Structure 1
């Protein structure tokens, strides 16, 4: 039976680049996103270039029960998923009390609820098969919760904690669970407001293909978590040596709009 790697958020950014890089390794892909035009184009490109099987599924992972629905759809099609990359996610920037509640709820649904659901459902299948790989895309902000990114930071802190604990539970089953922790990446993720912050000036976004390369390497061959970039590794360790009050002042300054 043919094996497939499932990638969510595959139509742009890190997910798009990982799909292209994995295709060069002759693996079959299942791509999930909301943009049919982009998925169709990517599917055609990858099948022609690499003679692999690429299928796509249009799903909005902020919708209730989307993880279960997607899982059921894939099972009905008899695709054997031996790899899962939970890459779909989005963030927002602004004062917490002023941000729309609906946007916060959708962010939690995509970044946490769908990720947990897909990890549980496909992880259970992989455990029965005695093999599999799951990679969840966390963030530098998993270690450094930033003001003005309050809900996003919290979701990514959850993703890292969740991934590390599930990875430990599944030790010895043949299923490897990892977490990719990029800093800022040059993708459509960033709003105009985000681009005006001190943090974006001080720590320039990395190209998406470079981050994707680190992700593909971690997914295929790695264990544990990977922080992408030396500067991001240094930043992730700052809270260990900096008092909380000072650390939060630093983060607030970094997250503020530069003038």
Structure 2
């Protein structure tokens, strides 16, 4: 599919993988609706991309973890009279630590952003795509979606949901002109892990956001249902097929166990920064 002159909506577009989706799609001539909480970052990015590629870019500052915001976002797109050809559900964040010690309020927001907003956004924008018999939905999952994650229990479960949800809708829409695709990156070179106090959760060599998005757009074009960028990440994602669940849990748990003396700001939902809202890479 070509995005020249068509509209793409990117959530979590102010940094990391979301920003790279915006940059690479703009380079292809796509118009953009950029969504995140940080309006100043979005405005700066939109201005740069308009000047560099001559595309249109709309900025919508919104927190998609709040109830009803996906519907509000959809209505704003209707008012702007833009038909979204490509929906990229990228916004998300993780919590790290013993489940009972992490703020329950923050973990609820994690589920709302990582799961509920993905479902709601897809349900809102898909009918318009079906009416045109054309469109694509990219959901950013993670290698975390392939096995349970001790100490990041809610995050791993949300990404397993995103992967399963996307694969099911790929099958439902495979003959209806709509592409569904799940991007499942491993550790990626952003400030995410430092912000959530979980550098130990970053396993292996970090990829770059640029390369992750290049791989994703190429895999989408090839008609794949999902992609795990990087050979090591792919092999790691398949590990649970060759060892028992208990062995997998012991291995993963030992790698991402909170370091001794660990004190996470995950306990304080008021300390969330914009970077912490990026999807874990």
Q: Distance in 2 between matches of 1:257 and 1:111?
A: 22
In structure 1, the residue matched to 2:244 is 243
Superposed CA offset, 1:67-90 (max 9, x none): 111001101211111111100111
Cα gap change, 1:155 to 1:147, in 2 (>3 Å): same
* Match of residue 68 from structure 1: 71
CA distance in 1, matches of 2:222, 2:51: 27
Task: Give the number of aligned pairs.
Answer: 255
Query: Aligned match of 1:193 in 182, 187, 197?
Result: 197
Does residue 77 of the first structure (1) align with residue 80 of the second (2)?
yes
Q: 2:158 maps to which residue?
A: 155
Matched residue, 2:19: 16
Alignment of 1:92 with 2:82, yes or no, is: no
Measured in 1, the distance between the counterparts of 2:159 and 2:133 equals 28
For residue 221 of structure 1, report the CA deviation from its aligned partner. Answer: 4.3
8 A contact 1:91–1:189 mirrored in 2: no
Is the CA contact (8 Å cut-off) linking 2:95 and 2:196 kept in structure 1? no
**Matches of 1:157 and 1:11, distance apart in 2:** 24
Number of the residue aligned with 2:145: 142
Partner residue, 2:60: 57
User: Given the two structures, how large is their TM-score scaled by the length of structure 2?
Assistant: 0.87
The alignment partner of 2:122 has SS state of helix
Structure 1: give runs of 5+ residues left out of the alignment: none
Q: Which runs of 5+ in 2 are unaligned?
A: 261-281
Deviations 1:29-86 (A, max 9, x none): 1110110110010011000000011111111001111111100110121111111110
Indicate the structure with greater strand content: 1
Give the whole-Å Cα distance in 2 for the aligned partners of 1:86 and 1:31: 11
CA contact (8 A) 2:8 2:86 kept: yes
Matched, 1:109 2:116: no
Higher mean Cα deviation, 158-167 or 209-218? Answer: 209-218
Whether contact under 8 Å (2:141, 2:184) holds in the other structure is yes
CA RMSD of aligned residues (A): 1.4
CA distance in 2, matches of 1:144, 1:211: 21
| Offset from partner CA, 1:80-122 (integer Å, 9 cap, x none) | 1111110011111111000101101111111111111111111
* TM-score normalised per structure 1: 0.94
- Cross-structure match for 2:46: 43
Question: How far off is 1:254 after superposition?
Answer: 1.0
Relative to structure 1, is the Cα distance of residues 51 and 117 closer, same or farther in structure 2, using a 3 angstrom cutoff?
A: same
Deviation at 1:189, TM superposition (A): 2.3
Q: Does 1:164 align with 2:167?
A: yes
Measured after TM superposition, the shift of residue 193 of structure 1 is: 2.8
